[in-house]
């Protein structure tokens, strides 16, 4: 693109883009990449933390980190890098929540944490149902299916979900998933295997079967 | 004096950046005019998470939409969704190849198009005579 | 249903679910992304700004230069062409995917001989 030669450095394109032949991600490409992935990233975060507000924060932090630290990376590496950053951002959230909960528990020891989580999830699905009245062509049963599937994903142990989503939703291969999760390829296969079995079991009674 | 110059500099830079931001303006779907929304209806769901650059190009398509005959409008609507789902590189290649094709003599154009249709088994057909609306 | 079909169906449902995200969330995500990517531009610009502080007149010259560059970029970019050509592409006999295919590029190259 001619434009890289017209604009002075520091005006929106990293200096690395000036060198043609190296497929470094330009600001536009990063923007396009994030635009393509932001919905899935948001959903991934929601399944993990079950709260829209926190999920948005997580996605924002992940995007910031990608842009701050990895804008000089080749375009092909962005999907994998972003998955790793996203998982770290989710872990950070839980770390902070644990610290917060520790102090909260000290103050109100009678609160039942399990109940709290279930409430949030129910009110969440109720909220999203009310936001969109079903259209005439709408398949009501398919919306119920989606809700059931999302519930099952949220109930998975974190590591299983973190293997399942990059592997099957983002379509990373085993090696890439291992890098994203920071574990061995063997572990990835184990987590995926368990995730699929757990999901199949949860969904068995509701009309899906592997 | 230095203080004033510094402020002026910053002011001008902000102006320049604002100008650039205006030129590459990101707009929410809700901010588009009714005509633009009609033209781009099939991709309403994707619009808000498109980068500004892509939006700009599509808005230009939307501009020309009203002038198209109804049948062409239909075709464009059908094609819009897959267009935005292509990668930026693919779209770039498509534009370049289309440009190259148009530079060939009419016969060759038809030949190549026929070849693609046969290869893809698409069941579409190329009109034997030149299209009625000649690109200007 | 084998495992592949199972995960396939699951993923299809997940994709459907992302399509059903409400407008407010979508807008929020878009504006977050926009902020983040634009913030990067400002970081890149910091180097230029520190120079301007040390030599205010140099900064003035650079600012004017940036304004001019911006004007050039906007006006000489040939944006009109792209819009026109895109409409022709999108209403052509062939679907746009055809033009992006490797085979198509090959056939075009063969014409150069």
Q: Which band of pLDDT confidence, cut at 50, 70 and 90, is reported for residue C52?
A: very low
Contact of B26 with chain C, judged by CB distance below 8 Å, is answered with yes
Q: What are phi and psi of A170, to 5 degrees?
A: -85, -10
Chain A contact probe: residue of B49, B56, B93 with most A CBs at under 10 A: B49
Comparing CB atoms, the residue among B8, B15, B76 nearest residue C67 is: B15
Q: In a 10 Å sphere around its CB, with 0-12 CB exposed, 13-18 middle and 19+ buried, how is residue A84 labelled?
A: buried
Look at B57 and C82 and tell me if their CB atoms are within 8 Å.
yes
Measure the N-to-C terminal CA separation of chain C; round to a whole number of Å: 52
User: What whole-number distance in Å separates Cα of residue B1 and Cα of residue C56?
Assistant: 9
Mean pLDDT by 10 residues, chain B (136 residues): 66 63 71 92 88 91 90 84 87 93 87 82 53 44
Residues forming a β-bridge with A74: A24
C-alpha distance from B135 to closest chain C C-alpha (Å): 8
Give the 3-state secondary structure of residue A74.
strand
- Which among A132, A137, A182, A138 is positioned nearest to A162, based on CA atoms? A182
Contact of B12 with chain C, judged by CB distance below 8 Å, is answered with yes
DSSP letter string, B64-128: HHTTS-HHHHHHHHHHHHHHHHS-HHHHHHHHHHHHHHHHS-HHHHHHHHHHHHHHHT------S
ipTM of the complex: 0.72
What does the pLDDT read at residue B117?
A: 77
User: What whole-number distance in Å separates Cα of residue A160 and Cα of residue A156?
Assistant: 6
- Residue C81 CB coordination number (10 Å): 12
Look at B86 and C63 and tell me if their CB atoms are within 8 Å.
no
Look at C11 and A131 and tell me if their CB atoms are within 8 Å.
no
Look at C25 and A11 and tell me if their CB atoms are within 8 Å.
no
Q: What are phi and psi of A24, to 5 degrees?
A: -75, 145
- Which among A49, A45, A35 is positioned nearest to A78, based on CA atoms? A35
* C chain contacts of residue A24, beta-carbon cutoff 8 Å: none
Comparing CB atoms, the residue among A39, A52, A200 nearest residue C6 is: A200
* B chain contacts of residue C94, beta-carbon cutoff 8 Å: 113, 116-117, 124
Give the 3-state secondary structure of residue A24.
strand
* pLDDT tens-digit map of A185-202: 999 999 999 999 999 999
What does the pLDDT read at residue B79?
A: 85
User: What whole-number distance in Å separates Cα of residue A60 and Cα of residue A89?
Assistant: 9
pLDDT score of A136 more than 90? no
Phi-psi region of B21 (alpha: psi -120 to 50; beta: other; left: phi over 0): alpha
Q: What is the mean pLDDT of residues A144-169?
A: 94
Comparing CB atoms, the residue among C57, C73, C99 nearest residue B98 is: C99
What does the pLDDT read at residue A195?
A: 97
* pLDDT tens-digit map of A7-16: 333 333 333 3
Comparing CB atoms, the residue among A6, A43, A209 nearest residue C17 is: A43
- Which among A70, A163, A41, B94 is positioned nearest to C33, based on CA atoms? A41
Contact of A151 with chain C, judged by CB distance below 8 Å, is answered with no
pLDDT mean across residues, chain C: 75
What does the pLDDT read at residue A186?
A: 96
Comparing CB atoms, the residue among A30, A52, A142 nearest residue C25 is: A52
* B chain contacts of residue A31, beta-carbon cutoff 8 Å: 51-53
C-alpha distance from C19 to closest chain A C-alpha (Å): 8
């Amino acid at each position: 693109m001619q434009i890289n030669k017209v604009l002075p450095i520091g005006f929106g394109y990293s200096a690395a883009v000036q060198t043609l032949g190296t497929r470094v991600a330009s600001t536009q490409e990063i923007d396009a990449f994030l635009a393509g992935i932001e919905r899935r990233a948001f959903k991934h975060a929601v399944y993990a933390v079950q709260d829209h507000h926190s999920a948005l924060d997580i996605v924002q932090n992940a995007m910031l980190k990608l842009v701050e630290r990895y804008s000089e990376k080749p375009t092909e590496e962005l999907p994998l890098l972003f998955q790793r950053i996203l998982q770290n951002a989710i872990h950070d959230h839980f770390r902070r929540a644990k610290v917060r909960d520790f102090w909260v528990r000290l103050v109100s020891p009678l609160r039942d944490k399990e109940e709290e989580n279930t409430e949030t999830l129910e009110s969440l699905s109720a909220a999203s149902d009310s936001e969109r009245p079903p259209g005439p062509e709408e398949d009501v049963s398919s919306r119920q299916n989606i809700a059931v599937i999302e519930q099952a994903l949220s109930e998975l142990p974190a590591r299983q979900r973190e293997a399942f989503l990059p592997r099957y939703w983002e379509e990373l291969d085993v090696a890439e998933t291992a890098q994203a999760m920071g574990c061995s390829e063997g572990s990835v296969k184990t987590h995926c295997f368990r995730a699929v079995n757990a999901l199949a079991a949860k969904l068995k009674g509701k009309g899906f079967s592997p | 004096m230095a203080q004033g110059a510094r402020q002026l500099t910053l002011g001008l830079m902000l102006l320049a950046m604002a100008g650039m931001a205006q030129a590459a303006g990101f707009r929410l779907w809700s901010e588009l005019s009714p005509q633009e929304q009609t033209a781009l209806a099939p991709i309403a769901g994707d619009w808000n998470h498109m980068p500004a650059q892509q939006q700009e190009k599509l808005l230009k398509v939307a501009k020309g939409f009203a002038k198209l005959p109804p049948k062409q409008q239909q075709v464009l609507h059908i094609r819009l969704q897959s267009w935005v789902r292509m990668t930026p590189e693919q779209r770039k290649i498509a534009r370049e190849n289309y440009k190259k094709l148009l530079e060939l003599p009419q016969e060759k154009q038809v030949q190549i198009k026929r070849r693609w249709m046969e290869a893809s088994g698409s069941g579409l057909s190329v009109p034997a005579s030149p299209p009625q609306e000649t690109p200007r | 249903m084998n495992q592949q079909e199972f995960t396939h169906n699951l993923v299809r449902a997940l994709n459907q679910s992302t399509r059903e995200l409400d407008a407010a969330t979508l807008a929020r995500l878009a504006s977050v992304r926009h902020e983040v990517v634009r913030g990067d531009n400002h970081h890149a610009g910091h180097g230029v700004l520190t120079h301007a502080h040390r030599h205010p007149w140099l900064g003035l010259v650079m600012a004017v230069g940036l304004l001019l560059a911006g004007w050039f970029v906007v006006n000489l970019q040939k944006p009109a062409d792209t819009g026109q050509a895109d409409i022709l592409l999108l209403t052509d006999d062939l679907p746009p995917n055809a033009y992006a295919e490797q085979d198509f590029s090959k056939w075009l190259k063969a014409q150069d001989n």
